[in-house]
Structure formats: structure tokens, C-alpha cells
Chains A and B, each alone.
Chain A
Amino acid sequence: MPSIDAVQKDIIEEFEILGDDKESTIFYIMELGDKLPAFPDKEKTEENIIKGCQSKVWLTTDLRDGQVYFLADSNTDITKGLISLLIRVLSGRKAKEILDADLYFIEKIGMGNIIGSQRSNGLAAMIKQMKLFALAYQSKIDA
């Protein structure tokens, strides 16, 4: 599996190809969301909703063979695309790696300009939630 760093570099490269055209960028983000694995309806609970996002985002996690896996869904395609990027970078990694990850790709691809400040807060909330899950697993491992 490529490193967090390598995946981020791939993403930055993909967005560079899209260039400045915002419409293609938005369409591309939505397509990324389309490719997320199906999220079970029974997991779309109030408990799994990430607080602080304008649209609904559900996130679940599990630990298999010492790796943290994330599953997510959203009621808007753009948000789904955004979280798919985070999943691509962070899912299937050790809790410590997730905690230590510096997600510089978000700034590099100009996400703030693409989604605006309100959405950026939502994106930050998603990252925070993913890191919180990782922290919970890490403290279990450390205990």
C-alpha cells in the first residue's frame, strides 16, 4: 500500500491536470464520491452523523488486523466526494499513522477556494472525527 505521502502526491497531481476549471473540478469530486463503496442504510443513524457539517455525513469505522478502516456516505454528492478523498488517504492505516498524518493535499489542491469557507469547516470536522476514531484505537493499543 502506498504511503500517506504518496497518495497525497497522486491526488495533487490529479487536481493539477484539472487545472483552474472549477466546473470540471466539481464534477470530478462528485465522480470520486460515486466510487465510494456502498454504505449500509442501517448505519445511517443519528449517532454516526458528523457534527459540524452542513450536509449530512455518516462515518463508521472498524479495526481489522491492526488497521483502521473507514466507511462514509453523505446526502450531497460533493461532500461524498470530499470524504472519499480523506478515505483514500487515511483508510486501511495504523491508528498512529492517521494521528500523525499532515493532510497538506487539501491546501495544495486549493480546496478552500473550491468549496468555500462553510464547507471547509465541514471538511475540518470530518478530519477531526477520523482522527478521534484513530485516537480511541490508539489508546486501546497503548493500554
Chain B
Amino acid sequence: MQDLADITDQKRKELDLAQIRRKFPVLDQKVNGKPLAYFDNAATTQKPDQVIDALKHYYENDNSNIHRGAHTLASRATELFEKTRNSLKSFINAPSAEEVIFTKGTTDSINLVASTFGKKFIKAGDEVIISTMEHHSNIVPWQMLCEQNDAQLKIIPVSDSGELDLQAYKQLLSAKTKLVAVVHASNALGTINPVKTMIDLAHEQGARFLVDGAQSAAHLNVDVQELDCDFFAFSAHKMYGPTGVGVLYGKRELLESMPPYQGGGEMIHEVTFAKTTYNEIPYKFEAGTPNIADVIAFDAALAFINDLGKDAIRNQEAKLLNHAFERCAAIKGFVPVGTARDKVSVLSFTINNMHAFDVGMMLDASGIAVRTGHHCTQPLMNRFGIEGTVRASFAVYNTIEEIDRLYESLARIAKRKN
């Protein structure tokens, strides 16, 4: 264990990009004859070798089911599993590890809240507020809930620059509002929303607040106590960790008052055919054998982020975004979508009204991986009157040279229609 002074020192110094890139074996390859430039990080990030090694190490040495076995491997696996929970507690500054629940992903975390908190506390005539820039995962569960419970869904509008209209939000809030569910950083635009202010406003009306942190957890400092959010949901695979693991943070008093999500093993205290009593949190919400290996390897991803430091990561990503924006803005026909002042490293754009898919295919031919389409945010695309965008999203391992290649390819592509 390094001492604190060492860690702080390390965070201050410039990131050694070459060293970071060496940790990601997948980056070292050619795609269509060109070196891979991976810019689809908002969809999923690549995994450093320490995560891959942790998975391998677990299956080779510790594989066992957790929380039950009376044998050494079972207790080793359990310890490692709970170690990740403890690391997450520190990572988001949760008051306790019991308030950290493992799920399958952000979507599952949100559905958990809709099915349990929603079922119990959202009644006919109540209102749930979301925003125009939500991912479908933070729209559909609430639509389903509102339909089921006869509640109303209210939508915060988005400005031309891709920012939430806070005045409109204040007007939507009322005593009827039971829950606000808003994205911390938009996957389609990159906009960072002022969630702290929004949470305080919701609490003034007695409403609870869920933050969709899928796009913020790897990029921004997250302190759930400072935010005072009631729920915070995120996914491991968007933060250098394995797929199939999500996290739901919830305030203890809420989690304890919520009914269980799914029934099965692990979540029970005692089962008789007359009545089942439920386990304590977090286990009440973790029915069945969890994704043990991936949860354990997630700890290595958290260590990767912590070692670099969020400030250094954010600094590097901001450099990449600024460079990309400056260069691409010079291309005739380049139209950025989402120009908020405060953004994570997402560059969303259209080019000469070309179909995003065509642009994506042409970039792929140059070894450049981007996402194209509506990014699971169709209401947001409708708001901007477009079918979709091309999205380049940057992670800490991306380089200025890769962005120059993006620019050069886009300049060639734009000429096709000029």
C-alpha cells in the first residue's frame, strides 16, 4: 500500500500516455490495415491488463460461490467480492458498504429502483420528472412504472446548446413530484448536468433523486454524500472494468424501506412456505449467484482509475476534446451537436447532412471506431430534428495523434459532398 503523500504526488504529475497504452493489449492492433483508434468509449471502454489478469487469476485460483461455503476457496472469493464493494464505497464516498448494491449494469440499477421504490412509493396522481436528454434506460422504466401506477411523467426541456432548462425544471417540481431521475453526463452530447443544484431543489419539494452516472463515474469525481443524491447508478464496463456488473448506491433508510427486487437465494433471511423474511441490505437486492468474477476484477479497474487520479484523467480527456473540437470545427459541413460549457469527453456531430452510418463506415475503413445513430436517446435526437449523430468519445488512453487522424479522415469524408 502506497502512503497518501506518494499517491498525491503521482496524481500531480503528467500522465505517462505510452505507459498507460501499454496496459491495454487491445489497442495494439491494426483494423482495416490502419492502427486502431478506439473512440467508442462512451459505449464501453477497453480493459487494462490488470483487469484481464484479475479475471484469469480468479478463475485459476479462487473460483467458488460466495457467502455460503464452509471452505477456504469460498471464503477467499467472498472476501475478494466484498473488497470490491468496499472499494466502491470509497470510490463514491458512500457512508457504508451496505449501501452499495451490485447489479447487472446501469439499466438494471434503474429498473431495480423503478420496480421497488417506484412500486411502493409512487402512487396514482404522483409525478416523476426526467429530462429530454435521458438514455432510453432512464426513460422506459419510468414510463412503464407511470403507466402501471397511473402516475405522470414530466420532462425537463433541453436548450439548443444541449443544456437542461433549469427554470422549466423548477416549474415542473411540486409536492406531487416523488422522484427525479436525471443523467449526470449525457451519453449523446457530453453535457454535464448541474445535478447538485437539481438535487437540492428536488429535496425542497420532498422528492427523491436518482442520478444516472453511467457516463460520469469514470470521468468525474463522484461524492454521493456531497451530492446528497438518493440513488446513484453506474456500470463497470464504462470505467475500464468488465461487462455485466453495475452498481446502485442508495441511501440506507430508502433501501431498508424498499421491497426486494427479485426473489431467490441470497436475498432471504428465512424461507418457510408460510412466510419468507428477507435478508439485510445489500443482500436483499442481490438474489441469486452474482457475477462474482467480474465484480472481483472490477476492483482492479477502480485501482487503475484511482492510481491515475480522476483529476489527471479529466485533464487529459479535456485536452483531447478541445483539440478534437478545434480541429474538426474547421471542416466545412461539420456541425457539432451539444455545445454545453461543461462537458465530458464526447464529440457528437453531423457532417454535410450525411447519414451517420455512412460516416461511421468510412471512419472504420481508416481504423477509427466511433458510434453512430441515435445513441438510445431518440427523444433527444427528435429535439434536435436529426436522426442521429456520429459520436467520438475519448478515454484516458487516447492520443492527440489519433484525433489528428480523425480530423484528416473527416476532412476527406466531408469533401465527398462539398
A interface, CB within 8 angstroms of B: 20-23, 25-27, 30, 54-55, 75-78, 115
- B17 located at the interface, meaning its Cβ lies under 8 Å from any Cβ of chain A in the complex: no
A contact residues around B358 at 8 Å (CB): 30, 76-78
- B366 located at the interface, meaning its Cβ lies under 8 Å from any Cβ of chain A in the complex: yes
**In whole angstroms, what is the CA distance A23 to B405 when docked?**
14
A contact residues around B354 at 8 Å (CB): 77
- B32 located at the interface, meaning its Cβ lies under 8 Å from any Cβ of chain A in the complex: yes
What 10 A-B pairs are tightest by C-beta distance, nearest first? Answer: A22-B365, A23-B365, A76-B355, A22-B32, A77-B358, A26-B365, A76-B357, A76-B358, A78-B358, A78-B361
A contact residues around B275 at 8 Å (CB): none
**In whole angstroms, what is the CA distance A24 to B110 when docked?**
44
Which listed residue (B355, B364, B365) contacts A75, Cβ 8 A? B355
- B385 located at the interface, meaning its Cβ lies under 8 Å from any Cβ of chain A in the complex: no
- B416 located at the interface, meaning its Cβ lies under 8 Å from any Cβ of chain A in the complex: yes
Query: In whole Å, how far is B26's beta carbon from the nearest beta carbon of chain A?
Result: 19
Query: In whole Å, how far is B373's beta carbon from the nearest beta carbon of chain A?
Result: 10
A20 touches B361 (CB 8 A): no
Interface residues of B in 303-362 (CB under 8 A from A): 354-355, 357-358, 361-362
**In whole angstroms, what is the CA distance A25 to B361 when docked?**
11
- With most chain B CB atoms within 10 A of its CB, the pick from A22, A27, A30 is A22
Q: List 12 A-B residue pairs with CB atoms under 8 Å apart, sorted by A's residue number.
A: A23-B32, A23-B365, A26-B361, A26-B362, A27-B362, A27-B416, A55-B357, A75-B355, A76-B355, A76-B357, A77-B358, A78-B358
Query: In whole Å, how far is B332's beta carbon from the nearest beta carbon of chain A?
Result: 18
Interface residues of B in 265-286 (CB under 8 A from A): none
A30 touches B416 (CB 8 A): yes
**In whole angstroms, what is the CA distance A55 to B362 when docked?**
16
**In whole angstroms, what is the CA distance A22 to B364 when docked?**
9
Which listed residue (B33, B362, B364, B387) contacts A20, Cβ 8 A? B33
Query: In whole Å, how far is A123's beta carbon from the nearest beta carbon of chain B?
Result: 14
B contact residues around A55 at 8 Å (CB): 355, 357
| A-B contact sample (4 more), CB < 8 A, given A20-B33, A77-B354 | A22-B32, A26-B365, A30-B358, A75-B387
Nearest-CB residue, chain A, relative to B387 = A75
**In whole angstroms, what is the CA distance A77 to B356 when docked?**
10
**In whole angstroms, what is the CA distance A138 to B357 when docked?**
36
Nearest-CB residue, chain A, relative to B362 = A26
Nearest-CB residue, chain B, relative to A55 = B357
Query: In whole Å, how far is A62's beta carbon from the nearest beta carbon of chain B?
Result: 28
- With most chain A CB atoms within 10 A of its CB, the pick from B32, B364, B366, B416 is B32
A contact residues around B355 at 8 Å (CB): 55, 75-77
B contact residues around A78 at 8 Å (CB): 357-358, 361
Query: In whole Å, how far is B331's beta carbon from the nearest beta carbon of chain A?
Result: 17
- With most chain A CB atoms within 10 A of its CB, the pick from B33, B358, B364, B366 is B358
Interface string of B354-388 (1 = CB under 8 A from A): 11011001101110000000000000000000010
Nearest-CB residue, chain B, relative to A25 = B365
Query: In whole Å, how far is B93's beta carbon from the nearest beta carbon of chain A?
Result: 42
B contact residues around A30 at 8 Å (CB): 358, 416
Query: In whole Å, how far is B141's beta carbon from the nearest beta carbon of chain A?
Result: 26
**In whole angstroms, what is the CA distance A5 to B365 when docked?**
29
Nearest-CB residue, chain B, relative to A23 = B365
B contact residues around A27 at 8 Å (CB): 362, 416
Given A30-B416, A55-B355, decide whether A21 and B33 contact each other with a Cβ distance below 8 A.
Answer: yes
Query: In whole Å, how far is B350's beta carbon from the nearest beta carbon of chain A?
Result: 13
Nearest-CB residue, chain A, relative to B358 = A77
B contact residues around A20 at 8 Å (CB): 33
Query: In whole Å, how far is B358's beta carbon from the nearest beta carbon of chain A?
Result: 5
**In whole angstroms, what is the CA distance A21 to B387 when docked?**
30
**In whole angstroms, what is the CA distance A22 to B367 when docked?**
10
**In whole angstroms, what is the CA distance A20 to B416 when docked?**
21
A contact residues around B416 at 8 Å (CB): 27, 30
A22 touches B357 (CB 8 A): no
Nearest-CB residue, chain A, relative to B409 = A23
**In whole angstroms, what is the CA distance A23 to B358 when docked?**
12
A23 touches B366 (CB 8 A): yes
Interface residues of B in 92-132 (CB under 8 A from A): none
**In whole angstroms, what is the CA distance A21 to B366 when docked?**
9
- With most chain A CB atoms within 10 A of its CB, the pick from B33, B364, B365 is B365
Query: In whole Å, how far is A6's beta carbon from the nearest beta carbon of chain B?
Result: 29
**In whole angstroms, what is the CA distance A76 to B358 when docked?**
6
B357 touches A23 (CB 8 A): no
Query: In whole Å, how far is B356's beta carbon from the nearest beta carbon of chain A?
Result: 9
A contact residues around B364 at 8 Å (CB): 22
Interface string of B195-228 (1 = CB under 8 A from A): 0000000000000000000000000000000000
A contact residues around B32 at 8 Å (CB): 22-23
Nearest-CB residue, chain A, relative to B372 = A76
**In whole angstroms, what is the CA distance A22 to B366 when docked?**
8
Nearest-CB residue, chain A, relative to B413 = A27
